[in-house]
């Protein structure tokens, strides 16, 4: 066995181990903590890159913890899509962590800064474990680590609005966790196993009983809350807009997407399309909710005056895009959904970090306050503009590629109405994004609004922003690097 076969488990455990060790470093030298936190995420990113080409194109890499064979032992099961998403998680969490140092020094009081980096690494490691685990109970464990760390990070500044947003997040998140746990209990009571691959085989043998139907519905609703699928999204706008901007970038760009990915695995790997009445019936309801999300999120984003709130409602809309791709049940639709996870992660993280630059330098959150911003903060404004083009879906950005496949997948599946909804969503995105760009580039700022600032954000904050915005362009121009593999993976899942 080559050493590289251990890389998937190291990718998960290194950030979690870093979270355990950081408090000791914080006690000795707190100012070293922001730099030390980069090491675990950098290592995970490197290991993920080294795994490229190691996954069989039509299969998966299975790692057995302690040498115990599944279904008795814990399995890490990494296929091409899982590795793709782990690399997205590693890349974005690393860039947002680089961004964090200046921002957190200003926004978070000294006593809480080490806690911020500890929670950040916990959340990052949990996301990686969430994507790669082959065991449904460990999926729940990683989901809880992810949820608890994100609740705390939303409230990390300690101000009243942050605590209120975190409490609202908990009120929605806790019942959804109970639903997922109940569903897992029902699955175990019927099948006697928790390994996902073994579950699929035993469910196919036993048939789809009423208990299994209830467990599937509970899983869809439970993960639907975590993924902020309309109308279960109520926690999202406040939590994403109030959290520190690097955390907003992770919550909006990654957390909701890995939860959507969990539903993909549960639907296609455990229940499978052979349960057509069960899966298709639920998918119809999810499709209606997703279409409503696209339109509702877009309209609400247009109505917002607060920049971060506008970006948060845009996320509600774009989660609808992803679910419309999943419910198309075509290779093109699934490919569009997976590519949109990449595009949305990059573009939305970039927009939130740009918003963080405005807050960091000027304390501006209102969209009207950004009039004339480009004259003093050109690097931030042009990065925001590039990411906005991807959110709208204008070529040659990655957003154009993902929306093309989403629409094509729905047309191939005979869902013309949903294809029209996707087009309407892009028009709504153009309205709310171009309004901000109009204020930034074509409106004069109020007297005294910008004059005292002659510089943009610090390089350590601009570099991640530009890396993300250029990535939306790169994956638009060079989409052929990923699309054939994603199409093959989608065909394999179906």
- Give the tens place of pLDDT for each residue, 65-107: 878 887 778 888 888 888 888 999 999 999 999 999 999 998 8
With pLDDT > 70 as the criterion, what percentage of the chain qualifies?
Answer: 96
Q: What is the pLDDT of residue 96?
A: 95
pLDDT in tens, 190-213: 888 999 888 888 888 877 778 888
Q: What is the pLDDT of residue 486?
A: 86
pLDDT band at 273 (very low <50, low <70, confident <90, very high): low
Find, among 457, 487, 482, the residue nearest to 471 by Cα. Answer: 482
Alpha-carbon distance values, 281 to 15, 18, 286, 434 (Å): 39, 44, 9, 38
pLDDT of 344 > 60? The answer is yes
DSSP class of 234: T
Find, among 172, 185, 173, 179, the residue nearest to 137 by Cα. Answer: 185
Overall average pLDDT of the 24-46 stretch: 93
pLDDT of 235 > 90? The answer is no
| H/E run at residue 253 | none
Find, among 431, 410, 423, 227, the residue nearest to 315 by Cα. Answer: 227
Helices H / strands E in the chain, number of each: 20, 2
Overall average pLDDT of the 340-354 stretch: 94
pLDDT of 57 > 70? The answer is no
pLDDT band at 318 (very low <50, low <70, confident <90, very high): very high
Overall average pLDDT of the 272-296 stretch: 80
pLDDT band at 246 (very low <50, low <70, confident <90, very high): very high
Q: Looking at 247-256, 312-321, 419-428, which range is the least confident one?
A: 247-256
DSSP class of 450: S
Is residue 36 within 8 A of residue 24, CB to CB? The reply is no
- Rounded Cα gap, residues 27 and 21, in angstroms: 10
Largest Cα span, the chain: 72
What the block records as the tokens of 285 is: 């309801």
Q: Looking at 11-15, 36-40, 376-380, 487-491, which range is the least confident one?
A: 487-491
Give residues with Cβ within 8 angstroms of 6, minimum separation 6: 63
What the block records as the tokens of 407 is: 């629409």
Overall average pLDDT of the 56-73 stretch: 79
Q: What is the pLDDT of residue 60?
A: 80
Find, among 299, 318, 290, the residue nearest to 390 by Cα. Answer: 318
Q: Looking at 55-69, 278-292, 413-427, which range is the least confident one?
A: 55-69
As a whole number of Å, the CA-based R_g of the chain is 22
- What 3-state class would DSSP assign to 366? strand
| H/E run at residue 480 | none
Q: What is the pLDDT of residue 277?
A: 65
Is residue 336 within 8 A of residue 404, CB to CB? The reply is yes
Annotate 76-140 with three-state secondary structure.
EEEEHHHHHHHHHHHHHHHHHHHHHHHHHHHHCCHHHHHHHHHHHHHHHHHHHHHHHECEHHHHH
pLDDT of 454 > 70? The answer is no
Q: What is the pLDDT of residue 163?
A: 92
| Residue predicted with more confidence, 18 or 255 | 18
pLDDT of 274 > 70? The answer is no
> What's the chain's length in residues?
494
> 211: buried, middle or exposed (CB in 10 Å: 19+, 13-18, 0-12)?
middle
Q: Tell whether omega for the bond before 450 is within 30 degrees of 0, i.e. cis.
A: no
pLDDT of 360 > 70? The answer is yes
- How high is the mean pLDDT of the chain? 89
With pLDDT > 90 as the criterion, what percentage of the chain qualifies?
Answer: 57
pLDDT of 335 > 90? The answer is yes
pLDDT band at 452 (very low <50, low <70, confident <90, very high): low
Overall average pLDDT of the 162-188 stretch: 92
pLDDT band at 279 (very low <50, low <70, confident <90, very high): low
Q: What is the pLDDT of residue 23?
A: 93
Q: What is the pLDDT of residue 372?
A: 87
């Amino acid at each position: 066995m080559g050493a590289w076969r251990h890389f998937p488990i190291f990718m998960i455990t290194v950030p979690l181990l870093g979270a355990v060790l950081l408090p000791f470093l914080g006690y000795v030298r707190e100012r070293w903590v922001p730099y030390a936190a980069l090491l675990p995420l950098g290592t995970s990113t490197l290991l993920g890159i080294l795994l490229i080409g190691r996954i069989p194109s039509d299969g998966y890499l299975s790692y057995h913890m302690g040498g115990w064979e599944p279904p008795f032992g814990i399995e890490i099961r990494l296929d091409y899509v899982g590795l793709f998403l782990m690399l997205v998680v590693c890349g974005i969490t690393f860039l947002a962590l680089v961004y964090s140092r200046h921002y957190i020094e200003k926004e978070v009081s000294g006593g809480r800064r080490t806690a911020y980096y500890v929670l950040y690494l916990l959340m990052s490691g949990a996301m990686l474990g969430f994507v790669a685990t082959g065991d449904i109970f460990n999926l729940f464990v990683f989901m809880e680590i992810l949820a608890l760390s994100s609740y705390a990070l939303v409230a990390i500044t300690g101000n009243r609005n942050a605590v209120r947003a975190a409490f609202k997040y908990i009120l929605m998140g806790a019942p959804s966790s109970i639903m997922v746990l109940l569903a897992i209990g029902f699955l175990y009571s019927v099948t006697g196993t928790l390994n996902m691959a073994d579950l699929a085989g035993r469910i196919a043998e036993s048939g789809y009983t009423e208990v299994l139907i209830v467990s599937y519905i509970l899983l869809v609703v439970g993960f639907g809350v975590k993924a902020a699928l309309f109308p279960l999204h109520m926690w999202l706008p406040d939590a994403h807009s109030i959290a520190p901007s690097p955390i907003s970038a992770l919550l909006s760009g990654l957390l909701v997407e890995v939860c959507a990915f969990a539903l993909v695995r549960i639907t296609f790997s455990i229940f499978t399309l052979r349960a057509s009445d069960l899966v298709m019936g639920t998918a119809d309801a999810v499709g209606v909710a997703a279409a409503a999300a696209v339109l509702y999120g877009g309209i609400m984003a247009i109505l917002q005056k607060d920049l971060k709130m506008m970006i948060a409602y845009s996320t509600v809309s774009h989660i609808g895009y992803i679910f419309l791709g999943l419910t198309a049940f075509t290779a093109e639709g699934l490919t569009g959904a997976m590519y949109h996870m990449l595009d949305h992660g990059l573009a939305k993280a970039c927009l939130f970090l740009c918003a963080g630059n405005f807050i960091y330098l000027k304390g501006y959150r209102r969209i009207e306050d950004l009039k004339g911003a480009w004259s003093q903060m050109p690097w931030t404004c042009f990065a925001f503009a590039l990411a906005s083009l991807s959110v709208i879906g204008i070529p040659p950005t990655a957003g154009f590629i993902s929306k093309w496949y989403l629409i094509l997948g729905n047309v191939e599946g005979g869902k013309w109405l949903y294809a029209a909804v996707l087009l309407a969503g892009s028009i709504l995105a153009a309205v709310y994004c171009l309004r901000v760009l109009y204020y930034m580039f074509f409106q004069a700022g109020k007297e005294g609004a910008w004059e005292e600032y002659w510089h943009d954000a610090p390089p350590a904050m601009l570099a991640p922003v530009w890396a993300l915005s250029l990535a939306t362009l790169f994956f638009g121009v060079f989409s052929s690097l990923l699309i054939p593999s994603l199409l093959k993976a989608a065909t394999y899942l179906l």
